[in-house]
A and B are shown apart, each in its own frame.
Chain A
Amino acid sequence: MLSALTEQPLLIALLALLSLGGIFGALLGFAAVRFRVEGNPISEQINALLPQTQCGQCGYPGCRPYSEAITAGDAINKCPPGGEETIQALADLLDVEPQPLDAEHGTEKAPVVAWIREDECIGCTKCIQACPVDAILGAAKVMHTVIADECTGCDLCLDPCPVDCIDLIPRKEGIAFWHWSLPTEETPPVDIIASDSRSRDAA
Chain B
Amino acid sequence: MREIHDIHGGIHPPERKSLSRPGELRDTPLPAHLILPLRQHLGVPAKAIVNVGDTVLGGQVLAQAQGAMSVPVHAPTSGTISAIEPRPIAHASGLADTCIILETDGADQFIACEGIPEWQTVAPSLLVERIREAGIAGMGGAGFPTAVKLNPGDSKPIDTLIINGTECEPYITADDTLMQCQAEALVEGAVILAHVVGAKHIVIGIEDNKPEAISRVTSAVQDASAEIEVASFPTKYPSGGEKQFIEILTGQQVPSGGIPADIGLVCVNPGTAVAAKQAIIDGKPLTHRIVTLTGEALGKPGNVIACIGTPISHLMGDAALSAEERQRIIHGGPMMGFAVSDLDAPITKITNCLLAPTARELPPPPPAKPCIRCGHCAEVCPASLLPQQLYWYARAKDHEQLSEHRLLDCIECGACAYVCPSQIPLVQYYRAAKGQMRDSEQEKRRSDNSRERFEARQTRLEAEALAKEAKRAARKAAAQEKAAQNGEDPIQAAIERAQARKIEQGES
Residues of A within 8 A of B (CB): 47-48, 50-54, 62-63, 85, 88, 132-135, 150, 152, 174-175, 178-183, 189-198, 202-203
Look across to chain A and name the residue whose beta carbon is closest to the beta carbon of B439: A179
A180 to B336, CA, bound (A): 14
> A50-B447, A150-B453 known; A191 and B97 CB under 8 Å?
no
Report the bound CA distance from A189 to B365 in whole Å: 6
Which residue of chain A has the shortest Cβ distance to B13 in the bound complex?
A193
CB distance from A171 to the nearest CB of B (A): 10
Chain B residues near A (Cβ < 8 Å): 39, 89, 91-95, 97, 328, 330, 332, 334-341, 355, 362, 364-368, 394-395, 397, 414, 417-418, 420, 423, 425-429, 431-436, 438-440, 443, 446-451, 453-454, 456-457
Q: Could you say which of A133, A135, A180 has the most chain B C-beta atoms within 10 Å of its C-beta? A: A180
Contacts of B417 in A (CB 8 A): 192-193
Closest to B395 in A: A182
Q: Is the CB of A193 within 8 A of B339?
A: no
A-B contact pairs, 25 of them (CB 8 A): A48-B451, A51-B450, A52-B450, A62-B454, A133-B457, A135-B453, A175-B97, A180-B431, A183-B368, A183-B432, A191-B339, A191-B362, A191-B425, A192-B420, A192-B425, A192-B426, A193-B336, A193-B337, A193-B414, A194-B328, A194-B330, A194-B332, A194-B334, A197-B94, A198-B94
Known contacts A182-B429, A192-B425, A198 near B447 by CB under 8 Å: no
* B454 with A52: CB separation less than 8 A: yes
B265 to A: closest C-beta gap in Å:
29
**Of A48, A195, A203, which is in contact with the most chain B CB atoms at under 10 Å from its CB?**
A195
Interface pair B93/A175, CB less than 8 Å apart: yes
Residue in B closest to A177 when the chains form the complex, CB atoms:
B439
User: CA of A192 to CA of B418 in the docked complex: distance in angstroms?
Assistant: 7
Q: How far is the CA of A51 from the CA of B449 in the complex (A)?
A: 10
Contact of A174 with B95 in the complex, beta carbons under 8 Å = yes
Measured between beta carbons, the chain A residues less than 8 angstroms from B355 are: 194
Distance A181 CA – B367 CA, assembled complex (angstroms): 17
Residue pair A179, B450 in contact (C-beta under 8 Å): no
How far apart sit A178 and B453, CA to CA, in the bound complex (Å)? 28
Are A196 and B432 also in contact (CB < 8 A) when A174-B95, A183-B425, A189-B367 are? no
Please report whether the interface of chain A is mostly helix, strand, loop or mixed according to DSSP.
loop
Partner of A52, one of B339, B365, B448: B448
- The reply to whether A183 and B429 contact each other, CB–CB distance below 8 Å, is yes
Task: State whether A196 and B339 are in contact (beta carbons under 8 Å apart), knowing that A51-B447, A54-B454 are contacts in the complex.
Answer: yes
A50, chain B: closest CB distance, angstroms: 7
Collect the chain B residues with CB atoms within 8 Å of residue A180's CB: 92, 428, 431-432, 435
Q: Which residues of B contact A183 (CB under 8 A)?
A: 368, 425, 428-429, 432
- Minimum C-beta distance from B432 to chain A (A): 4
- Report Cα–Cα, A48/B91, bound state, in Å: 36
Does B432 lie within 8 Å of A175, measured CB to CB? Answer: no
Q: Across the interface, do B394 and A197 meet the contact criterion of CB distance under 8 Å?
A: no
Min distance, Cβ B262 to any Cβ of chain A, angstroms: 27
A190-B340 Cα distance, complex, nearest whole Å: 14
Residue of B nearest to A172 (CB): B439
Tell me whether A193 and B395 are in contact (CB under 8 A): no
Question: B95 and A133: CB pair below 8 A?
Answer: no
Bound-complex Cα distance A150 to B366 (A): 47
Smallest distance from the beta carbon of A134 to chain B beta carbons, Å?
5
Chain A's nearest CB lies how many Å from the CB of B54? 26
Which A residues touch B39, using CB under 8 A? 175
A202 to B368 CA separation, bound complex (whole angstroms) = 22
Q: A111 to nearest B CB, angstroms?
A: 8
C-alpha gap A191/B333 in the complex (Å):
12
Chain B residues lying within 8 Å of A85, measured Cβ to Cβ, are 440
CB pair B365–A192 under 8 Å, yes or no, is yes
Return chain A residues, CB-CB under 8 Å to B436: 179
When the two chains form their complex, are residues B432 and A182 in contact, meaning their CB atoms are under 8 A apart?
A: yes
Which A residues are in CB contact (< 8 Å) with B97?
Answer: 174-175
Q: Is there contact, CB below 8 Å, between A195 and B92? A: yes
Write out the residue numbers on chain A whose beta carbons fall within 8 Å of the beta carbon of B453: 133-135, 150
Q: Within the complex, what minimum Cβ distance (angstroms) separates A130 from chain B?
A: 11
B95 and A190 contact, CB distance less than 8 A: no
> Which residues of the other chain, A, contact B443 by a CB distance below 8 angstroms?
51
A88–B396 CA distance with the chains assembled, in angstroms? 11
Name the residue on B nearest A151 (C-beta). Answer: B450
Flag if A175 contacts B91 (CB, 8 Å). Answer: yes
